[in-house]
Structure 1
Amino acid sequence: MISVGLGVLLNPLNSSMISVALARLQHVYHLDFTDVSWVIFSFYIASAIAQPVMGKASDLFGRKKIFLTGLVVAFVASLIAPLSPNFGWLIVFRIVQSIGTSMMVAVGMAIVRIHITEKQATALSVLSIFLSGAAAIGPFIGGVLIHLWDWSAIFFVNIPFVVASFLLAWRTIPKDEPPTSAARNMSVRKWFDLIDAFGILLFTVGLVALLVGLLSAKSSGHVSSGPVILGLIGLVALGAFVRHELKATSPFIPLRTYAKYPAMTWVNVEFILVNVLYYSLFFGLPSYLQMVRHVSEFQTGILMLSLGLCSLVASPLAGRWIDKSGPRPALLVSGLLMTFGSVWIVTLNQTSPVTSVCLALAAFGISNGLNNVGMQAAMFKSSPKEMIGVASGLFMTSRYLGTILSSLLLSILMGDTFSAGGFRLLGVILSVLALSLVFMSWRRRESGQPVS
């Protein structure tokens, strides 16, 4: 459990620590907020693509091999990233780091399910603590490291975790079963068909082109032909992706599953919305504190700790509540808390005490703890047992899509400079989204399936 836990925490830890480093990276590389946001975009786009791919690869080559390979990749990326000569190379190493950490997340849960046969639910809950705990305390760790050293420390801090996980995993994780003869003798073309390499390519090209097109047209006052062409390429590629996935025998994202099980579709839509709300605050508030209120990275990390602590405290309480009452009441309360936190953001101004942001952080932290358990429970209720593996993969992809959309929202609203007015506008938009989430939770049936 420790060997797997130390490996899987690297993905949420590195996705959250970066939130307090955005202002410093802007200064170091002389970038505006939109450009520096690609350090977030790149990580989540790569994670959304790599995790289901590596999950399939582990079935072919063995879970222990993929887990150990991921640790090596993450080690190399963490060691080299601080030496990046420019921001473009930093993005490249962030993508490599994302792929490495995604290897561990993709197979860590499977390793626990296969090799821990007693008290399996307890083991899975412990693993979720590694995941949610790393994401929760990431901004605090990042703030402290940047205050004591520099932004490069948020990469170097991975090395002791990687080394400890590798040594423990090498000794404690049982060896993989030999691959089947079919997998051993499979041609490259058949293996590409199995992982749906063409679908992955279309999805990647479409998503990246569309995002680049949108970001390029951020707030310049006019739209040039370049962003429009990129956006159209992205839409065409995504359209081709949908058509391809509907015909593929082993699709990267099985879209037919959504059509066959509409309740599962609604769970994923809600989860995307939940993550747009949470990560808009998660990434937006540190930049607001540092660039508008001129709060140091260390103090920002301390303030952001309230978000993580509230989430950690709420998660086990949510588990007991949801076991008794089902996911609907917890998700409804979560939506109301997000609405309160979003409205509170709108009321903040230059004279508001900095500590007053803790109210918004506490509201979003508690709601995140409720959502971590509630959305997972709703997903299990809405998904047939024979498709739970596919449902879990789609569920994780929805998390990353929500995170990517939150970063895109911040970039469009803030443009070149993070401002108090832009942050208040963000609060207004989040308030509308949170009220929509409350409505969806209210209409949810007790079975966990929304009314179609």
Structure 2
Amino acid sequence: MSAAAALSPAPARSFDRKLITPLVLGAILNPVNSSMLAVALVPIAATFHARPAETAWLVSGLYLATATGQPVAGRLVDRYGARTLYLAGAALVGIAGLIGTFASSLGMLVAARVLLGFGTCAGYPAAMYLIRRSGVAKPGGVLTALSVSAQTVVVIGPTVGGLLIGAAGWRTLFAVNIPLALLCLVLGGLILPRSAPAENLGRLDYLGIGLFAGTLTTLMLFLLGPTVGHLWLLALCVVLAAGFARRELRLADPFLDLRVFGGNGPLIVTYLRTLLAMTISYAYLYGFTQWLEAGRGLSPSHAGLILLPMSLVAIAVSSITGRRAEFRGKLLVGAVGQLLACALILLLDSTSAIWIPVLISLICGVPQGLNSLANQNAVYFQADPDRMGAAAGLLRTFAYLGAMVSSAATGAFFDHGADTPGLHHLAVFLIVVASLLLLVVLADRSLRRLGTAPAGNLTFAKGPDSCRSPRSTPRPPS
């Protein structure tokens, strides 16, 4: 085959729309379990007589497992195809739902959340893999459906969770995973295409996976308690990270090809933006919701309803802007919106009128509908097509790192309860994070050109302003 033929764009294809339902269902399993728990932390703490620092493990356990497992699942999807990993993940979700429904201790609940984290790892990388391999020239509609569904679940989750708790108790939040998992198994088994493993598969890099998992685990454990006494965890994280980098750079077929990821500056910046944006989003979802219940005195149902305007705005914003190729404008509006919302939180106290948190919820809906969608679509255009599963998994890893940072901040500022002074300290921290996010968006000049060429026809070298010839083009479905 000639060089010109190798570099020519793949013919445009239409996406098989019957895949959308199982892919969306698999991708929302994690946001379902992330968002609904926000209004359950207080009643769970009351059931098991636990402090906020202890119930924080229900959040951290899921994200620790998922942040570690997402790139692993993504790499396995790249090697073996989407269907097998999708079905295995769905089975784990069902098992975890059973454990959580009948848990008799906080420890069992944490174990169920960890298992949920691993089980929900495969859905999103599998979806991005199949969309990328379909060869769709303009995937905006499909990617928007994927993002809008996840965002919708995130923002309506607290409302639905509050209603479920009011109707049948917090255990229903674990029980809902059982029918969802069964539905994924049935639809995935019937609809998802079988695919042959990638050619010339070598031995899976188990040591690299272990070093990667150890690096993330020690980092997140340090973030849960960032004290002088825990600095040894940070030191161990650095040692493990160095060992991971050394091994991956020496292997011909590594778990994560750092030469590819490290040479793609715009993709790294997208991961950084995701970390900063999700730190704010999850701090609002968990920290602000806890304050509404413990500091403002609202019930879980009412706290969930306060967040409902955010869901409506986010859905509308994502739906309206999803097909537009503009990236920089969306991210600028998202960063400014988060900065404004965090500043308004400083006005709240235990006697504040309800319309103020409702207004904050409305404002938060705008960045909620813009940031995740823009960053997800950026990865689609920036990532190496042959490693789309791993790249998508890493995007989620950085999102969960943001969740861990927010969890650590919430635990630190709410150490003596979710009171108003703690909320204000949390808001100041988030203002700093939002300001950094705004600076990162302003500095990234590659965003102006992103999406102007079909996916696969543009990749980036070591700086955000240097482009080079494409490595490959989208492949047809396996």
Tell me whether the two structures share a fold, i.e. TM-score over 0.5.
yes
CA contact 2:296–2:349 (8 Å) conserved in 1: no
Distance of 1:40 and 1:114 partners within structure 2: 33
CA contact 1:54–1:102 (8 Å) conserved in 2: yes
Distance of 1:35 and 1:334 partners within structure 2: 32
Distance of 2:154 and 2:121 partners within structure 1: 15
Aligned positions of 1:44-83 closer than 5 A: 44-83=63-102
Q: Where does the alignment leave 5 or more consecutive residues of structure 2 unmatched?
A: 1-19, 451-462, 467-478
Distance of 1:383 and 1:61 partners within structure 2: 19
Distance of 1:179 and 1:257 partners within structure 2: 22
CA contact 1:137–1:308 (8 Å) conserved in 2: yes
Closer, same or farther in 2 for the Cα pair 1:60/1:267, shift >3 Å? closer
Letter matched to residue 398 of structure 2: S
Letter matched to residue 200 of structure 1: I
Q: Which residue of 2 is the match for residue 357 of structure 1?
A: 357
What secondary structure sits across from 2:121 in the alignment? helix
What secondary structure sits across from 2:337 in the alignment? helix
Identity of aligned residues (%): 28
Closer, same or farther in 2 for the Cα pair 1:451/1:408, shift >3 Å? farther
CA contact 1:67–1:104 (8 Å) conserved in 2: yes
Q: Which residue of 1 is the match for residue 4 of structure 2?
A: none
Distance of 2:121 and 2:383 partners within structure 1: 24
What secondary structure sits across from 1:404 in the alignment? helix
Closer, same or farther in 2 for the Cα pair 1:375/1:58, shift >3 Å? closer
Letter matched to residue 246 of structure 1: L
Please report how far the alpha carbon of residue 10 of structure 1 lies from its aligned counterpart in structure 2 after TM superposition: 1.3
Deviations 1:23-65 (A, max 9, x none): 1222222222222111111111211222222233335544322
RMSD: 2.7
Q: Which residue of 2 is the match for residue 309 of structure 1?
A: 312
Letter matched to residue 319 of structure 1: G
Alignment equivalent of 2:195, drawn from 177, 199, 207: 177
Q: Which residue of 2 is the match for residue 89 of structure 1?
A: 108
Letter matched to residue 376 of structure 2: Q
Q: Which residue of 1 is the match for residue 436 of structure 2?
A: 436
CA contact 2:310–2:362 (8 Å) conserved in 1: yes
CA contact 1:145–1:153 (8 Å) conserved in 2: yes
Closer, same or farther in 2 for the Cα pair 1:177/1:372, shift >3 Å? closer
Distance of 1:179 and 1:260 partners within structure 2: 27
What secondary structure sits across from 1:102 in the alignment? coil
Deviations 1:44-90 (A, max 9, x none): 12112222222333355443222222222111110121222322222
Q: Which residue of 1 is the match for residue 406 of structure 2?
A: 406
Q: Which residue of 1 is the match for residue 294 of structure 2?
A: 291
Closer, same or farther in 2 for the Cα pair 1:215/1:98, shift >3 Å? closer
CA contact 1:288–1:423 (8 Å) conserved in 2: yes
Aligned positions of 1:125-204 closer than 5 A: 125-174=144-193, 176-179=194-197, 191=203, 194=204, 196-204=205-213
Query: Would you tell me which structure has more helix in proportion to its own residues?
Result: 1
Closer, same or farther in 2 for the Cα pair 1:26/1:251, shift >3 Å? farther
Distance of 2:168 and 2:119 partners within structure 1: 25
Distance of 1:214 and 1:396 partners within structure 2: 18
Q: Which residue of 2 is the match for residue 5 of structure 1?
A: 24
User: Is 2:36 the counterpart of 1:27?
Assistant: no
Distance of 2:91 and 2:406 partners within structure 1: 30
Closer, same or farther in 2 for the Cα pair 1:64/1:211, shift >3 Å? closer
Please report how far the alpha carbon of residue 178 of structure 1 lies from its aligned counterpart in structure 2 after TM superposition: 4.4
Distance of 1:37 and 1:11 partners within structure 2: 17
Please report how far the alpha carbon of residue 288 of structure 1 lies from its aligned counterpart in structure 2 after TM superposition: 0.5
Deviations 1:107-160 (A, max 9, x none): 233345557979865334323333222222111111111111111100111222
Q: Which residue of 2 is the match for residue 278 of structure 1?
A: 281
CA contact 1:132–1:312 (8 Å) conserved in 2: yes
CA contact 1:67–1:108 (8 Å) conserved in 2: no
More displaced, 50-59 or 340-349? 50-59
Distance of 1:49 and 1:305 partners within structure 2: 31
Q: Which residue of 2 is the match for residue 247 of structure 1?
A: 250
What secondary structure sits across from 2:307 in the alignment? helix
RCO comparison, higher one (Cα < 8 Å, 6+) = 2
What secondary structure sits across from 1:352 in the alignment? coil
CA contact 2:128–2:388 (8 Å) conserved in 1: no
CA contact 1:205–1:234 (8 Å) conserved in 2: yes
More displaced, 370-379 or 355-364? 370-379
Deviations 1:189-243 (A, max 9, x none): x63xx2x32222223333333443454466xxxx55xx34444333433333333
What secondary structure sits across from 1:285 in the alignment? helix
What secondary structure sits across from 2:351 in the alignment? coil
CA contact 1:253–1:394 (8 Å) conserved in 2: no
Q: Which residue of 2 is the match for residue 186 of structure 1?
A: none
Letter matched to residue 404 of structure 1: M
Distance of 1:373 and 1:284 partners within structure 2: 23
Please report how far the alpha carbon of residue 419 of structure 1 lies from its aligned counterpart in structure 2 after TM superposition: 1.8
Deviations 1:286-330 (A, max 9, x none): 10111111110110111112222211111122225x43xx21122
Please report how far the alpha carbon of residue 404 of structure 1 lies from its aligned counterpart in structure 2 after TM superposition: 1.6
Q: Which residue of 2 is the match for residue 205 of structure 1?
A: 214
CA contact 1:275–1:402 (8 Å) conserved in 2: yes
TM-score, normalisation: structure 1? 0.87
Letter matched to residue 54 of structure 2: D
CA contact 1:330–1:370 (8 Å) conserved in 2: yes
Distance of 1:328 and 1:147 partners within structure 2: 42
What secondary structure sits across from 2:297 in the alignment? coil
What secondary structure sits across from 1:347 in the alignment? coil
CA contact 2:124–2:392 (8 Å) conserved in 1: no
What secondary structure sits across from 1:207 in the alignment? helix
What secondary structure sits across from 1:37 in the alignment? helix
Distance of 2:397 and 2:198 partners within structure 1: 28
Letter matched to residue 265 of structure 2: P
CA contact 1:116–1:123 (8 Å) conserved in 2: no
Distance of 2:364 and 2:390 partners within structure 1: 29
CA contact 1:318–1:374 (8 Å) conserved in 2: no
CA contact 1:443–1:451 (8 Å) conserved in 2: no
More displaced, 103-112 or 151-160? 103-112
Distance of 2:224 and 2:123 partners within structure 1: 31
User: Is 2:318 the counterpart of 1:338?
Assistant: no
Q: Which residue of 1 is the match for residue 327 of structure 2?
A: 327
CA contact 2:315–2:369 (8 Å) conserved in 1: yes
Q: Where does the alignment leave 5 or more consecutive residues of structure 1 unmatched?
A: 184-189
CA contact 1:271–1:375 (8 Å) conserved in 2: yes
Q: Which residue of 1 is the match for residue 7 of structure 2?
A: none
Letter matched to residue 177 of structure 1: S
CA contact 2:225–2:408 (8 Å) conserved in 1: no
Q: Which residue of 2 is the match for residue 374 of structure 1?
A: 374
User: Is 2:424 the counterpart of 1:424?
Assistant: yes
